[in-house]
Amino acid sequence: MNDVINLLQPAVRFVMRRSVFLLLGIGVGYAYGYHHADAGEPSLFSRAQSLIGVDHVRDDHMRRQRAVEAIRQARMDSIEALLPH
């Protein structure tokens, strides 16, 4: 039994050390992200999307949708201008 305990001690120390660093990293990351959310800056997730270009696709789609809506509104305005009041 003592042999098993002696074999497991280094593994347990390794796992405990890694767990402590993981928890510290999570705490620091949460505090950093929470601070930036308070300042009104984009979230870390949004920044990650910016790095890979996902937000550019979304922005382009929204820009196109606004252009389509502007064209529709212009057509409706021109039709209303032709109708007698």
- The domain total for the chain is 2
pLDDT in tens, 3-51: 888 888 888 999 999 999 999 999 888 877 776 666 667 777 777 877 8
If one counts every other C-beta atom within 10 angstroms of the C-beta of residue 19, the result is: 10
> What count of residues does the chain have?
85
Is residue 46 in a domain? Answer: no
Is residue 81 in a domain? Answer: yes
Mean local confidence (pLDDT), 61-82: 92
Residues 13, 37, single domain; the answer is yes
Is residue 27 in a domain? Answer: yes
Is residue 66 in a domain? Answer: yes
Residues 37, 65, single domain; the answer is no
DSSP secondary structure string for all residues of 53-81: THHHHHHHHHHHHHHHHHHHHHHHHHHHH
pLDDT score recorded for residue 50: 79
> b or e along 69-79 (b: 16 or more beta carbons within 10 Å of the residue's beta carbon)?
eeeeeeeeeee
Q: What is the pTM of this model?
A: 0.40
73: containing domain = 54-85
Rounded to 5 degrees, what angle do the CA atoms 39, 44, 48 make? 140
Residues 9, 34, single domain; the answer is yes
